[in-house]
Amino acid sequence: MKTHRRNPKYSSRGNILMFDKAVALDLQNKVRRRTQRQLREVERMSAISRTACPISHDMRHSLTAIYANAEFLERRDMCASARADLVLEIQEAVMAMTERLDSLLRFGCSGWNNPHVRMCVSLVVEKAVAAVRFHPDGRNVSITVDRLPPAEADIDAMNLQSALYNLLLNACQAATHSTEVPEVKVCLAEVDERIYVTILDNGPGIPVSVRRMLFDPFVTAGKPNGTGLGLTLARHIAEEHGGSVCLEESNPEGTVFTLSLTKNRFSS
């Protein structure tokens, strides 16, 4: 008796089902990512709305002070030193207003797509330090910069300088409350594919009550004129460079922040 061997029939149904599941999973992931982006956008716009009113209120006070000082400057019987003090107060008020507007605009910007260019990070650090030294809160602070290695990375120099400026200014403002001579130290280290900028101050430390929320928008550590956006912006910029900003240490003797970034923005 001859037996006829039946050739097995291969069905493509299993493959189709697997393909359908993969497509469905991909669609779910896309929807989830889009929903998350939309939620972040709603939260960002809500935060901007919450802060627009107090910033407007504060700026009205600053403008009133500027106007009053400008009127005093018209007096001819005013001595040179008093006139210089009024000019300094006007400059400080304008600078504070500019910082608040700049922080709000940058926080409200949804782009952050400036081109990244390969360049030496130490140059950006030096520019940030120089800018802070011109700020009223940085003039009387000793800012020491360790020898900076010539580490290069793919960076948006303007945004990175802004992040470092915010961290340095915070450090200077904290150091002015030290019982010792106010000091800030800046270090730059290169480890494998990452670069670390560490900023130390000898201020009284950050209150424990705000440490967990320190990087949330509009949270300030006891600064009456602070926008509460500096650290938020600094961390966002660092993340755009494949890194982050971390509070390494804070106690009554001082505080240490570290900004990290990846040398190659496309590496993991």
How many Å from the N-terminal Cα to the C-terminal Cα in the chain? 67
233 Cβ partners below 8 Å, 6+ apart? 103, 106, 107, 162, 163, 166
pLDDT score recorded for residue 204 = 92
Of 149, 205, 210, 204, which is closest to residue 178 (Cα–Cα)? 204
Residue ranges of the chain whose pLDDT lies below 50: 110-112, 268
Quick: pLDDT tens for 34-93.
887 777 767 766 666 655 655 665 677 678 778 888 888 888 888 988 888 888 888 877
Task: Give me the CATH topology for the region 117-262.
Answer: Heat Shock Protein 90 (3.30.565)
Same topology, domains 12-110 and 117-262? Answer is: no
Q: What is the mean pLDDT of the chain?
A: 79
pLDDT score recorded for residue 15 = 63
Quick: pLDDT tens for 193-205.
999 999 999 999 9
pLDDT score recorded for residue 116 = 84
DSSP state of 135: S
Which CATH architecture is the domain 12-110 placed in? Orthogonal Bundle (1.10)
d(CA 67, CA 93) in angstroms, rounded, equals: 11
pLDDT score recorded for residue 268 = 43
pTM for this model (two decimals) = 0.62
Residue extents of the structural domains in the chain: 12-110, 117-262
